[in-house]
Amino acid sequence: MKFLSSTYTGPIHQVNLVKFKKQTKDGRSGELVYKEYMKRTIELVEKVGGKMIWIGTPMKEGPLVGTDIWDRILIAEYPSKEVFIKMAASPDYKSFSHLREEALEMAIVPTRDQVLKFLASPYKGTVHQVNLLKFKDRTVSGVTGEESYKKYGEKVGKLVQKVGGRIIWVGIPMKEGPLVGTDLWDRMLIVEYPNKEAFVTMSSSAEYKEIAHLREDSLEIAQLIPTVPLLSKL
């Protein structure tokens, strides 16, 4: 397994993008079965020294960038890759892991219309924007996509703070690739905004338009998923 052969020895953040089955074999909803699975998983994760650091429900209006529709996004922290493997192989986990298989349809990891759907949502609370990014090897300006995005990130961070937002999590996917699924991303980040209007205000401002070209220049593909934070509701 490429994951285990990695020379990285530090903490691991496992990002889970999940799609629920409408109905499981026993007639329950996939979401209900997954809730049961997660309750037991969180107990086991904490038992091995890990923790759930973020959970969100993507807004039903869909992503602002990209087309994949997910029902839940979760990030779990483990002290090391070995701890994750040991937990996943334990009798305790195997005793309820079937719940995950029963619950999920798939697990992998803006246009004007997408923005309008986003704004039309009746949801009024805090929004977490999940960013999945793939950098260009080389930009039109001759630098790497990662270098160009770093410049963009430094500038956009100030604009996010200006509207009351903040970057709450940033991760670099391990080069060995995902444990489930095939999508390969170079960077993942979660940005919090007080509400959806704050995000639109920031992204449509004159200041943002001055730096937007850096993002476009740096990215080969991306997904931007507006998400309702859920961790406090567990």
Interval 204-225: pLDDT, tens: 888 988 888 888 878 888 889 9
Q: Residue 55 pLDDT > 60, yes or no? A: yes
Give the Cα separation of 63 and 121 in Å (integer).
Answer: 12
Confidence of residue 75 (pLDDT cuts 50, 70, 90): very high
The CATH number of 2-108 is 3.30.70.100
Q: Which of 98, 105, 133, 160 is nearest to 222 (CA)?
A: 133
Calculate helix-pair angle for 196-203, 145-162, nearest 10 degrees.
Answer: 120
Residue 110 pLDDT: 67
For residue 69, the tally of other CB atoms under 10 A from its CB is 11
Give the Cα separation of 232 and 234 in Å (integer).
Answer: 6
Q: Residue 94 pLDDT > 50, yes or no? A: yes
Confidence of residue 2 (pLDDT cuts 50, 70, 90): low
Residue 154 pLDDT: 95
Confidence of residue 58 (pLDDT cuts 50, 70, 90): very high
Same topology, domains 2-108 and 112-233? Answer is yes
Confidence of residue 107 (pLDDT cuts 50, 70, 90): very low
Q: Residue 109 pLDDT > 50, yes or no? A: no
Q: Which of 46, 78, 44, 71 is nearest to 56 (CA)?
A: 71
> Higher pLDDT residue, 19 or 116?
19
Residue 148 pLDDT: 92
Residue 222 pLDDT: 86
Give the Cα separation of 222 and 168 in Å (integer).
Answer: 19
CATH class of 112-233: alpha beta
- Over residues 48-75, the mean pLDDT reads 89
Beta-carbon contacts of residue 43 (< 8 Å; ≥ 6 apart): none
Q: Which of 50, 133, 116, 56 is nearest to 86 (CA)?
A: 50
Give the Cα separation of 42 and 104 in Å (integer).
Answer: 17
Give the Cα separation of 87 and 33 in Å (integer).
Answer: 20
17 token code pair: 């993008």
Q: Residue 79 pLDDT > 90, yes or no? A: yes
All structural domains of the chain with their residue ranges: 2-108, 112-233
Cα torsion angle, 209, 210, 211, 215, sign: positive
